[in-house]
Each structure stands twice: as structure tokens, then as C-alpha cells.
Amino acid sequence: MMNKKKIICILVMIACFILIIYRPRQLTLTIGVFAGSNWDVPNGDCYKIIDQAIERYEKEYPMVQIEYESGILKEDYSEWLSAKYLKGEEPDVFMILGEDFNTLSALGALKNLDSLIQKDQQFHIEDYYASVLYSGQYYNHQYALPYESNPTLMFVNQTLLKKEHIHLPDNDWTLDDFYTICQQVTKDTNNDGQIDQYGCYNYDWLDSVYSHKVNLFDENGEFCYLNQKDVKNAISFVQKIYNLNQGYTVTSQDFDMGKVAFAPMSFAEYRTYKPYPYRVKKYSQFEWDCIQMPGADENNSSEVSSLLMGISSRTSHIQEAWEFLKLLTYDTQTQKTLFQYSQGISSLKTVIQSDDVESLLNSDILEDTQVNLDLLNDVMENAMSQSQFRKYNSAIVTMNNQINQMIQNNEDLDLSLNSLQNEINEYLRE
Amino acid sequence: MKYSYQQVLSILRHSLSILNFVIILFYSMLILMTTQYIVQIQYAREFLDRITHLPQHPLVTFLGSISLYAVLIFVIYNRNTTKVSYKMNVFYSFLEVLIGFLLIYFLYMSYNGVLFLIFCDSIFNLKQEKYSKGLLGVLIIVYIISSYDVFSIFVPMTNMFEYFQIYGSQVNGVLMIITSCLEMLNIILFIAFMIVYLADEMRQNQYISEELDMVNQVNKELQNYAAITEKIGENKERKRLAREIHDTLGHALTGIAAGVDACIAMIDQNPTATKQQLQVISKVVRQGITDVRNSLNKLRPGALEEHGFKEALERMIAEFSSVSDLTIELDYQLEDIDLEKTDEDIIFRIIQESITNALRHGHATEVKINMHYDKNFLHLKIKDNGIGCDDVHFGFGLTQMKERLAMINGEVHFDGHQGFLTEVTLPRKERDKHD
């Protein structure tokens, strides 16, 4: 009697369980996005692309409803996402800030996308530029896909160069050209005994390292290679540039007033400040444009930063999340709207190389500009990314501090780099 | 009021259950509340940097560990209230270990003291040493594996310690003191349980050995009593024999002696009267023979006296079977043979002795008896499946068997390999043969 009752009980429970799992239902996919631009430029249409994508997605998959929490600022986003993770309520698909990617991957918080990529016949990983794809990899596994990329360009003050009778450099210019021009423009224009016109602003050692195409760390983040010839060359180049100013540190005010010939500038800033209305507000006293960063040789290379998107490793709707992730990062239509409503560019070769994007890009820029899709394609092809590992961010911060000190104090690089390398290696091994 | 060992044990077990509940509640609440606290003070991002693996949903941890503990307690108490078979008991123990391990896993391997509770319960229910030793081994292995330091080598997981460190060093210190006190108390309770349990075990052993001593004493007395009754019986039998001899043989021989004396005196004077007298004596002699035979009959085994040979055998076999777990097969093929009473007696005794030996020395469970005849001989085979013996040692029983058989020209052969085989051959007497 007892046994019969028990068996019936168990059967009912199993049936309920199956029903709960397989019940036809409206499923809700949550996504995590932040307001504003990833690159700290003003952006009024931050949710437009997402909203359009959601609309298209919900039309295609009527059973899925997508929700997001609006109004999270970029500076709060990291904390917000971490808190959600701790509470176990993280969104299924979400944006990943550069500084969070390593930590989240190391914790196993992100879904390893390798198998999804392999299974999906319509998805071709080669469509992405290799370097931006690399920034979403952690120990050779793809954990995130680039949603939006932002290459670094070189701002050129055309008015200043014209005044000094210097031609606008070509896109394949080298570090030597860069140095020569800096040398030429650095001078005292009002004869008060102090230089008041400068070669460049904000060009730091990492820019130089990217130009030299150096990998600072090994693939697993267990060693750093600071004490090598290329790193030394890169840093001594920055030291040379710095020394041109005779110890004076160029400020943003100098730059705004048009006293500086060059400055690294992200594409997002270019996109924001070049067209109306911001062109009236900023850098309005002089003509300017952007070109590629100078290279150590003819193959210019530079840094490209990307806003990544990934899937939570704990999501229960893997396929739906993957489809939505694809819609945001892989869909040509969505990626094209980036040029309309955002300041970054797509990471897809097909989008960058398509014709209708060209018109989108330059529709609101009145003047002639060097920046076109060919240039962007070039930059993206030759971009460099550093390997990602958990201690990357903190290692870079330490290196940054010490190397800036070396540059400012004109330290002997051999010795200082060697001791810094030992220090960093020790930290990485901990 | 004095408690019995069993009462103390169950009190200790209840307290262990309650204490473990408190500890598990403490840990799971700590996770739940610390998560809230981290989110509140906006420390989540830093916290993620400090930990090595993403924690589970805090509510899953909380509800999961509490409900697993509830299941564990249910199993423990259900097992105690219902009488379960031995195999089920072992199964229950392993089920408890499994649930316990899952519970420990849910709490990020930070607290494995619940295994003590499981050990107490299992040792309480699994009294037999064979399994409790195995269980002890399993538990020690699980205990070692389930510590965070060991387990996190194989499976990366959140370190509970990080949750403590969120609070300043002062609160952290207090929390550490609370946890170590609770865990210490758990261990103390466990040790107390084990001490009481072992004391109880020792007490029971002592009790059993006392009982055994008493049984031995009684056994000895019984043996003495049996010896005495045997002696008495022997005496009675002697007296009876003496009386019998006196009454029959004595009487007849006296009469014969007197009659013969009279004949000696008379034979010359009156041969006719002497002849008559001798006839009387002859009658007396015959009467004497009849009397002696009657007396001998009285000495025969009771069973043979009352029944035929075969029935007597069957009866004896049935008696043996009923008092022991011996299976005896009798294959009797002497239906159409008339045996002499003496032969019957001897064969009966031999079978009786063989079965007794099979039971007493061979510890057999099966005895096969086969009796058949051919032209010249009767054959008797008694085979048991006991331990047998390599060399047959002739004790009183076997010697007597041999001697008895020698009286009727029989032969016996013993074989102690693969059980014990007794083989008897008896020459057939002319008058037994029908053909």
C-alpha cells in the first residue's frame, strides 16, 4: 500500500518536473548595456541601436522577450554587473568593459563561445578583423565578440603645419617622419625664451610600443618581455620626443589652443568633434584632420580598443542568447547602424568594406578628410592587441607608472627595464 | 537521575544534529548577508577581483544547503525509527555520505563537520565491524577531500574565507572565533559520542562474557549430572543382569546340578527312573535356554524390540534429523532378506555410531546410507559430506565396531577423504539365501 503511494508520488513529481522544463512559454532574455559611449564622448542615441536590434529580434522570435535596465552610466556599469553576478542575477547577454573582461573570464563568468561558433554554420569567425577578435580571447578561447571598435588615429593640426610649411604626412609615414616634424615645429614663437609651440601631446609609451608591434607578455600572462630591444627602442623614442620640450609637459589647454601639431586621437573622438555641432565647440580655431599613427616601418600598426559583448556562463537560454549576441555583433544591418548612432566602427570586414557605409561615414562631415574606409580598413587590418590574462590590468598600471617615471627622469633604460621586468614577473608568478 | 548509555548517546546525537544545523545556517546566512552587504557598499567589482571563482546564486546556496540538511536529517531519523535490513543500512550510510558531500559542496567546502554527524549515525546503526571499518575509511577519504584546500585543487571554487574578509579585521576576527568555537564544539560532541559509544560497547562485551561464563558453569554441572546418571544406569543394569542371571541361569543350573546329582545316584539302581529324571533335566535345560534368550532379548535396543529392522532404522534416522540439521538418505535394498537378530543389532549400532560420528566429528550436513546384497555378501555403505580426516584414528567407537563385526565374520573399511566413508561387508548365511 505504502509502496504504491510512494511510486505514484514519485511519478507525479517526475511528470511535474518534465512539464516545468518543457512547458511552452514566453521566455525573457535580459541584456546588460550602459548609457553613453564606451569612449567617453557625448552620445545622445545610446539605446537606439539596441532598441532596433531588440525589435527585429522579437519579430523573428515571438516567444522571446528582451529586457534591459536603462540608465546605467558607464562608470557604474562595472559595479552594477559585478553586483548582479554576485547576486546571481546577471543578464544573459551583456557588454563587457575592457577592464572587466579578464576578471570575468578568469572567474568562469563568461560562456566559452568556441562550441557555439563551431556549431553555427552561418557564423564565420574570419569575417572579423583578427586583432579585435583577439581582444575577446582568453587563453586561446573566445569568450566575447567585439560589438564596436575604436582605432587610434593621429590628430594633425593642419593650420600649424601650413604655417611651418610642412606637408601633411602620408598615411604610411614612419616614426622618423614623426620625430622630424616634431623637431621642426617645437620652437619659441613669441621670443620670450620659452618654447610655446610643441610637437605632440599625450603620445605615450604604449602608443610607441604598438607602433613597434611588440608583445609585452607571453600568451598565458606568465612572463613579461620588457627587457628586449624593441621595447627599449619604443621607450627611448618617447624619451626623445619628451626631451624636445625641454622638460615641459604639454597640457590639454596648449592642445586646445592649437599650439600642438600632433596628438593621438581615437576614432570616436574624431567622429564626435569633426561634424557639426561639436566642431563649433571644440578645436574650432584651427583646421585639423586625422591620419594613421606613424609606424616603426612602412607597416603602420596601432592600438584598437573594442567594446566586447558576451554571454553569461550561467544562462539557461544559451541558443537564444547566442542568436541575440550574433544579431548585435555579427549582423551587417546592426553593425552598419553603428556608423549612424554611435562613434565606434564595426569590427566586421564586410561592413567596413561595403560601399553604403562610406556615405554614412562622411555624410555629416563637410570638409575633405583623410579618414575614409580604406584608411579604417588599413588600421583595422594592422591593429595590434595584447594577450589577455587576469593580472593584465594591474600589471599595465604598474608598468605605466614606472615607465613614465623613467621617461621623465631620463633613466638608464637597460637597468630600469630589467628591474621592472623582474618585478612584474614576480607579480605575475604570485 | 541517571541516564542509560543509550539515552546519553541519543542526547548527544540530537545535540550534534542541532549544532550542525546552527553551523550550516550560520554559514549560509553569512553568504547571503555578505552578498547583500557587498552590493550595498558597492564593493562587488573589487570582490570579483579577489575571488578565484564565481560564487553560485546566494539564494541557491542558502536554500540548497538548508534543504539538503533537512533531507539528511530526514534520512537519519527515518532510518532510526524504521527497522531496516542490513543491506539497506549500508545503503543508507552511503546515501548520507553522498548528501553530506553535496551539502559541503554547496557551502564551498568551508564546513565539513557534518561528516562527524553522519559517522555517528552510521556507527550507531551499523554495529558490525566489517562495514563500520569500511565506512570509516570512506569517511576519512571524504573528509580529506572535502576540505577546501584539497578540493579546490581539482575543482576551482569560491573561497568562503573571502566573504569573511569583506568585513574589517575586527568583525572578521569575531566571525572567525564564532566559527572555530562552533566547529570545536562539534568535534567535542563527536568525541564525547565516540567515548560513550565505546564505553557502551565495552560494557556490553563484559556483560556477554559474564553470561558466557555462567553458561559454561551450567554446562559443566549438566555434564556431571549426566555422568552420575550414567553411573546409576550402569549400576541398575548390572543389578538387573545379575538378577537375570541369578533368576534364569542360576535357577536352571542349580536345578540341573541337583537333577544330575540325583541321576548319578540313581543310574545304577533304576535306569528307567534316571532316564525320566534326565528328561526332566533336559526340559529344565531347554527352559533355561528359553529364559536366557528372553533375557538377551530384553537387552536389545528398544527400537528393534518393538519394530522391524527397517522401521527401527527409519525411526532412528527421523530422530537424528529432528534434533539436528542433518539430511539422511536411506537406500534400503534388503527387503527380501531375513537377518539374524545379532546381525541386526550390530548393523543398527554401526549405523547409529556412524551418524553420530558424521555429526560430531565431521560436522556433516548430509549422510547417505546404502544397504544391498549380492550372491555372497551383504554390503553397507555410509557416506557423509563432512570434513573427514586424512588418517583414520581408531577410537573407542571404531574399535568396537570392528570387534562387533569380527564376532559375525564381518569386515569394515574406513576412508576419511572427501567426507567419511564406512564400508561394511558381511558374509551371507546359508539360510538367508533363498536361491
Select from A99, A100, A107, A312 the residue whose CB has the most chain B CBs within 10 Å, as the one to mutate to test that interface. A107
**Who among B54, B56, B60 is closest to A107 (CB)?**
B54
- Please tell me the distance from the alpha carbon of residue A77 to that of residue B45, in angstroms, as a whole number: 10
Reported as a pLDDT band with limits 50, 70 and 90, residue A367 is low
Between the alpha carbon of residue B253 and those of residues A333, B257, B260, B286, B299, the distances in Å are: 143, 6, 10, 11, 21
**Cross-chain residue pair A83–B60, CB shorter than 8 Å:** no
Which whole number is the average pLDDT over A284-302?
84
Q: In sequence order, what are the beta bridge partners of A312?
A: A110
Q: B328: which 3 cell numbers? A: 539422511
| CATH class name, domain B216-299 | mainly alpha
The pLDDT of residue B435 is 44
If you ran DSSP here, which 8-state letter would residue A110 be given? B
Q: For chain B, give the percent of residues with pLDDT over 90.
A: 27
Q: Is B427 helix (H, G, I), strand (E, B) or coil?
A: strand
Partner-chain residue, chosen from A83, A107, A108, that has the shortest CB–CB distance to B44: A83
Inter-chain contacts counted by CB atoms under 8 A, chains A and B: 51
Chain centroid to CA A317:
28
Q: Does A430 touch chain B (CB under 8 A)?
A: no
User: What CATH architecture applies to the domain B302-432?
Assistant: 2-Layer Sandwich (3.30)
10 Å CB burial of residue A114 (0-12, 13-18, 19+) is middle
A76, closest residue in chain B (CA to CA):
B42
> pLDDT of A202-251, one tens digit each?
898 989 999 888 888 888 888 888 888 889 999 999 998 888 888 888 88
Task: Using pLDDT thresholds of 50, 70 and 90, give the confidence band for residue B278.
Answer: confident
pLDDT at A327 over 90: yes
Between CA A237 and CA A293 the distance in angstroms is: 14
A44 touches chain B (CB under 8 A): no
* Interface with chain B: mutation pick from A72, A76, A87, highest number of B CBs within 10 Å: A87
Percentage of chain A exceeding pLDDT 70: 97
Name the pLDDT band for A320 (thresholds 50, 70, 90). very high
| Yes or no, beta carbons of A87 and B47 under 8 Å apart | no
The pLDDT tens digits for B382-433 are 998 888 888 888 877 888 888 888 888 888 888 888 888 899 998 887 545 5
Residues in chain A within 8 Å Cβ distance of B54: 85, 107-109, 313-314
Tens of pLDDT along A117-175?
A: 999 999 999 999 988 898 899 988 999 999 999 999 999 998 888 888 888 888 888 89
Interior angle at CA B380, CA B379 and CA B384, nearest 5? 145
pLDDT for B432 equals 53
B214-253 per-position pLDDT tens digit: 999 999 999 999 999 989 988 988 887 787 777 777 777 8
CA distances B414 to B172, B300, B406, Å, are 86, 26, 15
Query: Complex ipTM above 0.90?
Result: no
Q: Which of A86, A107, A108 sits opposite B44 (nearest CB)?
A: A86
B59: closest CA of chain A, how far (Å): 8
pLDDT score recorded for residue B70: 94
Neighbouring C-beta atoms of residue B402, cutoff 10 Å: 15
Percent over 70 (pLDDT), chain B: 95
Q: Give the A window 398-427 contacts with B, CB below 8 Å.
A: none
Mean pLDDT computed over every residue of chain A? 87
Distance, CA of A82 to CA of A111 (rounded, Å): 16
Q: Give the β-pairing of B377-384 and B421-427.
A: antiparallel
Maximum C-alpha span of chain A: 108
Instruction: Please judge whether A88 and B58 are an interchain contact, meaning their C-beta atoms are less than 8 angstroms apart.
Output: yes
Taken in order of first residue, the domains within chain A and their CATH numbers are 25-150+305-372 (3.40.190.10), 152-303+385-429 (3.40.190.10)
Q: Which residues of A touch B37 (CB under 8 A)?
A: none
